[in-house]
Chains A and B, each alone.
Chain A
Amino acid sequence: MSLYWDAYHETMSREQLAEIQLKRLKSLVERVYTYVPFYRQAFQEKGITLGDIRSLSDLKYLPFTTKKDLRDTYPFGLFAVPRSEIVRMHASSGTTGKPIVVGYTKKDLETWSDLVARCITMVGGTKEDVVQNSYGYGLFTGGLGIHYGTERLGATIVPISGGNTARQIMLMQDFGTTILTCTPSYALYLADEIHAAGIDLKNLRLKAGIFGAEPWSNNMRDQLEEKLGIRAHDIYGLSEVLGPGVAIECAYKNGLHICEDHFIPEIIDPVTEEPLPYGERGELVFTTLTKEGFPVIRYRTRDISALYPEKCACGRTHLRMERITGRTDDMLIIRGVNVFPTQIESVLLEFGETEPHYLLVVDRKASMDDLEIHVELSSKMFSDKIAGLEVLERKLRSRILSVLGISAKIKLVEPKSLPRSEGKAKRVIDKREL
Chain B
Amino acid sequence: MRVQQISIFLENKEGRLAKVTDVLGQNGINIRALSIADTTDFGILRLIVNKPQLAYQVLKDQGFTVSTTDVIAVEVSDQPGGLSSILRLLEKVGINIEYLYAFVTQTTTAALIVFRVEQVDEAIELLQANGVRIVPGDKVYQI
Say yes or no: A378 contacts B98, CB within 8 Å. Answer: no
B41 touches A384 (CB 8 A): no
Question: Which residues of A are found within 8 Å of B41, using beta-carbon distances?
Answer: 411-412
Whether a CB of chain A sits under 8 angstroms from the CB of B127 is no
Q: A386-B37, A389-B42 are in contact. Are A415 and B67 (CB under 8 A)?
A: no
Q: What is the minimal beta-carbon distance from B97 to any residue of chain A, in angstroms?
A: 11
Contacts of B74-100 to chain A: CB distance below 8 A? 98-99
Interface string of B39-72 (1 = CB under 8 A from A): 1011010100000000000001001111101000
Q: Let me know if A369 is at the binding interface, CB within 8 A.
A: no
Q: Which residues of the other chain, A, contact B42 by a CB distance below 8 angstroms?
A: 389, 412-413
**Does A49 sit within 8 A of B, measured CB to CB?**
no
Query: Knowing A384-B5, A386-B39 touch, does A378 contact B46 (C-beta < 8 A)?
Result: no
Shortest Cβ distance from A356 into chain B, in angstroms? 15
Chain B residues with Cβ below 8 Å from A100 are none
Which listed residue (B9, B11, B37, B63) contacts A382, Cβ 8 A?
Answer: B9
Per-residue contact bits, chain A 153-173, to B (CB 8 Å; 1 contact, 0 not): 000000000000000000000
Complex: how many Å from CA A411 to CA B11? Answer: 10
CB A162 to nearest CB in B, in angstroms, measures 22
CA distance A417 to B19 in the complex (A): 14
What class of interface size applies to chain B in its complex with A?
A: 20 to 34
Q: How many Å from the CB of B37 to the closest CB on chain A?
A: 5
Asked if B32 CB lies within 8 Å of chain A CBs, one says no
A25 at the interface (CB under 8 A from B): no
Shortest CB–CB separation between residue A109 and chain B, in angstroms?
Answer: 44
Q: In chain A between 366 and 407, which residues have their CB closer than 8 angstroms to a CB of chain B?
A: 377-379, 382-386, 389-390
Interface positions, chain A 396-434, Cβ under 8 Å from B, are 411-417
Determine whether the beta carbon of A384 is less than 8 Å from that of B10.
no
Query: Known interface pairs A377-B9, A385-B98. Does A414 touch B44 (Cβ–Cβ under 8 Å)?
Result: no
Question: What is the 8 Å Cβ interface bit string for chain B, positions 100-137, against chain A (1 contact, 0 not)?
Answer: 00000000000000001000000000000000000000
A414/B11 contact (C-beta < 8 A), A384-B67, A384-B69 known: yes
Q: Is the interface of A mostly helix, strand, loop or mixed?
A: loop
For B5, what are the chain A residues with a Cβ–Cβ distance below 8 Å? 384
Bound Cα distance from A414 to B9, whole angstroms? 7
A377–B65 touching, CB < 8 Å: yes
Set of chain B residues within 8 Å of A385, measured between Cβ atoms: 44, 98-99, 116
A379 and B65 form a contact (CB under 8 A):
yes
Residues of B within 8 A of A390 (CB): 39
Given contacts A379-B67, A414-B64, A414-B65, contact A384 B11 (CB under 8 A): no
Asked if B7 and A384 sit within 8 Å, CB to CB, the answer is: yes
Q: Encode contact with B along A338-382: 1 for CB under 8 Å, 0 otherwise.
A: 000000000000000000000000000000000000000111001
In contact, B11 and A415 (Cβ under 8 angstroms): no
A389 to B38, CA, bound (A): 11
A376 nearest CB neighbor, chain B only:
B65
Tell me the bound Cα distance from A382 to B66 in angstroms: 7
Contact A415 B116 (CB under 8 A): no
Query: In the assembled complex, which residues on chain B have CB atoms less than 8 Å from the CB atom of A413?
Result: 11, 42
A384-B116, A386-B37, A386-B39 given; A415·B46 CB < 8 A:
no
Chain A contacts with B in 23-68, Cβ cutoff 8 A: none
Which residues in B have some Cβ–Cβ distance to A below 8 Å? 5, 7, 9-11, 16, 37-39, 41-42, 44, 46, 60, 63-67, 69, 98-99, 116
Interface pairs (24), CB distance under 8 Å: A377-B9, A377-B65, A379-B65, A379-B67, A382-B7, A382-B9, A382-B66, A383-B67, A384-B7, A384-B44, A384-B116, A385-B44, A385-B116, A386-B38, A386-B44, A389-B9, A411-B41, A412-B9, A412-B41, A413-B11, A414-B10, A414-B16, A414-B64, A415-B65
Further 4 A-B residue pairs, CB within 8 A, beyond A384-B5, A385-B99: A386-B44, A389-B42, A389-B44, A414-B9
Q: Please provide the 6 A-B residue pairs with the shortest distance between their CB atoms, ordered closest to farther.
A: A384-B7, A384-B69, A382-B65, A379-B65, A386-B37, A414-B11
